[in-house]
Structure 1
Amino acid sequence: MPASDCDIVAEIGAGIRAMRKEYMLTQQQLAELAGISDRTLRDIEKGSGSPSVGTVAKVLATLGLNLEVRK
């Protein structure tokens, strides 16, 4: 069964949070580096809201990752 949109957003958020902590960055620091608001980053990490693909891609790129779409 495919994951729901909420599950996917929560999984992405948890991964971003883990990577941020691994790099020992605060939410404010990562948000600033990614060029987004710290509120937006908090929402992404909590799995709430509906972040744009572009916003998520910015955060991932800041962490040295990329967004990959798989079939």
Structure 2
Amino acid sequence: MEDVAAIGASIRRARKEVGITQGTLADLIGTSSRTVHAIETGTGNPSLVTVAAAANAVGLHLKATDA
């Protein structure tokens, strides 16, 4: 779960750096602000596609690695 929390924290930090709200990010990626909140806090069960869309919208890119 550390990875989930770290991804969410990175998305939140990047969102704040670009100066948009959770609601604006939600509108940009076609989801709800509740889902954006879940991504940023590492709670709930958002889809990988939605998490990747949120990351991309704030200028981040997810990279898969072998564990």
TM-score, normalised relative to structure 1: 0.83
Report the TM-score, using the length of structure 2 for normalisation. Answer: 0.88
Instruction: Return structure 1 stretches of 4+ with deviation > 6 angstroms.
Output: none
Whole-angstrom distance in 2 between the partners of 1:54 and 1:22 = 22
User: Structure 1: any 5+ residue segments left out of the alignment?
Assistant: 1-5
Identity %: 47
Two-structure CA RMSD over aligned residues (Å): 1.1
Structure 2: which 5+ residue stretches go unaligned?
none
Q: Counterpart amino acid of 2:20? A: L
Which protein shows a greater Rg?
1
CA distance in 1, matches of 2:55, 2:47: 13
Aligned pair count? Answer: 66
